[in-house]
Chain A
């Protein structure tokens, strides 16, 4: 487990890590049940990306900003939004148009070596061991965005599997050129952020690779908690913790009521 202090919660760290990778002027979408995603986008807007544009997938509110992390579908976002769109119009650019969104941030029950994601079921679909919630917009956002992020609030062998039991969002499929061979537009997962580290994908094989490990996390610990062989670079970086400025802005201007700290504490050590 990471060396956890009381100085920031897991949810705050994941939001900070995601926000750092966003660029000014990009377009993003945030789905339902997405507190960390909302915070990450609004934090980026407070820092390096003031013109980042994000829209609530279900609710249609654009850039709702009030210093409180609310569920993205909630009506309260309307009063603090720049526009409110209707879903039957938005589906054109959510479900059909290629590369409208620069990125989406998606959680999953399982992810695999090539960054495919699964929220449908664990085990055989006809008789699953665990029935998940379903696909909703994940298929489209993985297939059509310029890139996507995989955000996992747990990192263990149940969640990091050699091959997902159901592909509901295409990552790099079977690796190599298989994604583009299938006919999908350029894209795929860029980073995976977890309680243990940050991961990217080796450019040729498209296999998941360690990018950085959080403070106090060892290589053995990550290997023990990952159900496939990660690509290990010659030098493993240490994840930069959220700094004082990031935490100050996050807590004062984005999540002033402390939703992330309350809902996403660090997992307890086994």
Chain B
């Protein structure tokens, strides 16, 4: 891991340069929320790089953790929520969890919130309410009974989460690394605060004057960002709030291609191995333009 780049001004780098910090066995946080703001260009780049044995800590997500798992990059994943919503369960995550190929660290909202907050605050653990679930039974290292006062509320300790690297996707940024969101920020800023190294992809780079035009859109100020990667349609096949909708047709094709490992390997060869330019060619200008039209998905 290089020294922090957070104070330097040369944050705008190409995809492969940004990903050079990610090594086998690291803990990788992923931002966004289900089909929104999934950092897919970074995910595809990491798959091309062939990184192995990652531990994932995804925000409630979909295709980003699912693709990394299907590509064999993941040894362990935390699971707060990994879902394809109306398109069903996350297909590669489901297969890997059911076969035991990937170890699942079961978590809940309070667990990831308390863990990230502890990580962001340099505390060893967070305190959360014990809500009577089975989570401590299946993830005893992630949920430990806390000492409480007589008659007090039952509490659990959750260890601090400090990802080695976090992947986020915003809609636009300036060269200084101020990242703007046209929709909700979800857990992205908290992830950035807790992480050792933050890589943000954005659909476009804009002048500083554009960022200053509405500074309220800046959810991740530059002090929290190590690298910015310009990745047009970098959240596809998920959506990038305010810019383009999730690609229902492609997501359905992805689910179909995830029916077994051989079919999914073919998907990866066709869609991932050719790089981001090749990916956009493959999806096609007409399809991509259609996602920006604002029509009902």
Contact = CB atoms under 8 A, between A and B. Distances in A.
B138 to A, nearest CB: 5
Contacts of A125: 106, 134, 138
Interface residues of A, number: 53
Contacts of A87: 184-187, 190
B13 interface: no
A86 B217 CA distance: 12
Interface stretch (A6-14, A43-51, A72-80): A72-80
A96 interface: yes
B83 to A, nearest CB: 4
A205 interface: no
A159 interface: no
B34 interface: yes
Specify the main secondary structure of chain A where it touches its partner: loop
A169 to B, nearest CB: 7
B186 A58 contact: yes
Interface string B119-130: 000000000111
Given A75-B242, A136-B81, A136-B109, A167 B133 contact: yes
B80 A33 contact: no
Interface centre among A60, A166, A179 (most CB of B within 10 A): A166
B211 interface: no
B131 A139 contact: yes
B82 A133 contact: yes
Contact of B131 (A60, A184, A263): A184
Interface in B265-292: none
A235 to B, nearest CB: 34
B109 A91 contact: yes
Interface centre among A84, A134, A168 (most CB of B within 10 A): A134
B77 to A, nearest CB: 10
Interface stretch (A140-148, A213-221, A223-231, A239-247): A140-148
B106 A182 contact: no
Contacts of A140: 108-110, 129, 131
A133 B100 CA distance: 16
A168 B133 contact: yes
A144 B242 contact: no
Contacts of A94: 109
A148 B70 CA distance: 36
Given A73-B33, A138-B108, A131 B85 contact: no
Given A73-B34, A74-B241, 17 more contacts: A32-B83, A32-B85, A58-B34, A73-B184, A73-B186, A78-B184, A88-B187, A88-B190, A91-B113, A127-B100, A131-B104, A134-B60, A136-B81, A138-B109, A143-B133, A167-B133, A168-B135
8 contacts: A32-B60, A32-B85, A75-B183, A95-B128, A127-B100, A134-B108, A166-B134, A173-B132
Q: Across chains A and B, which 3 residue pairs bring their CB atoms closest together, nearest first?
A: A75-B183, A143-B131, A75-B241
Interface of B: 33-34, 36, 60, 79-83, 85-86, 89-90, 93-94, 97-98, 100, 104, 106-110, 113-114, 117, 128-135, 138, 153-154, 182-187, 189-190, 219, 241-242, 296
